[in-house]
Amino acid sequence: MPYRLTRAEEEQESSDRYPMGRRQSSEEYVKSQLERNVFTGKLSDVLNSAVNWGRKNSLWPYNFGLSCCYVEMTTAFTSPHDIARFGSEVIRASPRQADFMVIAGTCFIKMAPVIQQLYDQMLEPKWVISMGSCANSGGMYDIYSVVQGVDKFLPVDVYVAGCPPRPEAFLQALQLLQDSIQEERRPLSWVVGDQGVYKAEMGSQREQKRSQRIEATELRTPDKL
């Protein structure tokens, strides 16, 4: 259908005759509006992205701690570090209400079945952060009572190095987990799509930052503050 277009505010032309304004005929209007408003991408990408955005910005941590790392994890929850900035201040005492579990401390052989039980009680979607050397690999404790890394039985999403890691490191791990969640593809419903969970290969931070880190040539001496 042909339209007639009159612009509301337009540069005054030299003519001062009423009716003001320049009229022109246009057939492109509907077509262009159609192109602007109708989404031609994949709906599932948008939905996934929106759902992931929601998930990653309200991650509820499970109140679970094993050893020293838990103290630094708790420090991240309190005011000076304020984990609420990242939407994760809602600590849950029950695994059934939590989104992610931080293995903050040493994983003991006596404790491993308990950890497994608690992990099983968490509802999908769920994630695991392994915090500190002990949880990553056993760390300093290559000893009869310690499991050499919690990934011997749990799927780990983010590893945080340190013994114990600083609260800032834990917060960074949380952000890395958020980045990874943004890229995830999970079934949007039990009837939509294939029911697999696709996780993006996020790559190790050590490799990504190596070139930047080795640029440091002058290190501060410990003799002064």
What residues are designated binding site? Answer: 68-69, 134, 163
Cβ atoms of 47 and 184 within 8 Å: the answer is no
Radius of gyration of the chain (CA): 27
Give the separation between CA 41 and CA 210, rounded to whole angstroms. Answer: 37
Judged by CB under 8 A, how many residues of this single chain contact another protein? 45
Backbone angles phi, psi at 135, to 5 degrees: -70, -30
* Binding-site entries for [4Fe-4S] cluster: 68-69, 134, 163
Q: How far is the CB of 225 from another protein (least distance, A)?
A: 5
Smallest gap, in angstroms, from Cβ of residue 74 to another protein?
A: 7
Interface mask toward another protein for 17-56; x: CB under 8 A: ----------------------------------------
Largest CA distance in the chain: 97
Instruction: Enumerate residues 102-121 that contact another protein by CB under 8 A.
Output: 106, 108-114, 116-118
Site mask for another protein (CB under 8 A), range 148-167, x = bound: x---xx---------xx-x-
Cβ-based nearer residue to another protein, 51 or 68? 68
Is there binding between residue 123 and another protein (CB under 8 A)?
A: no
How far CA 114 is from CA of 77, 109, 128, in Å, comes to: 24, 10, 15
Specify the residue, 59 or 107, whose C-beta has the smaller distance to another protein: 107
Among candidates 109, 188, 196, which has minimal Cα distance to 145? 109
The residues in 81-100 that bind another protein, with binding defined as CB under 8 A, are 93
Antiparallel, parallel or unpaired: β 127-131 and 158-160:
parallel
Q: At what angle do helices 167-182 and 68-77 cross, to 10 degrees?
A: 70
HSE, CB side, 13 Å, CA atoms: give it for residue 101.
28
141: contact with another protein by CB under 8 A: yes
The owner of tokens 């320049």 is 22
- Shortest distance, CB of residue 99 to another protein, whole angstroms? 17
Where does this chain bind another protein (CB under 8 A)? 63-68, 70-72, 74-75, 78-80, 93, 106, 108-114, 116-118, 138, 140-148, 152-153, 163-164, 166, 222-225
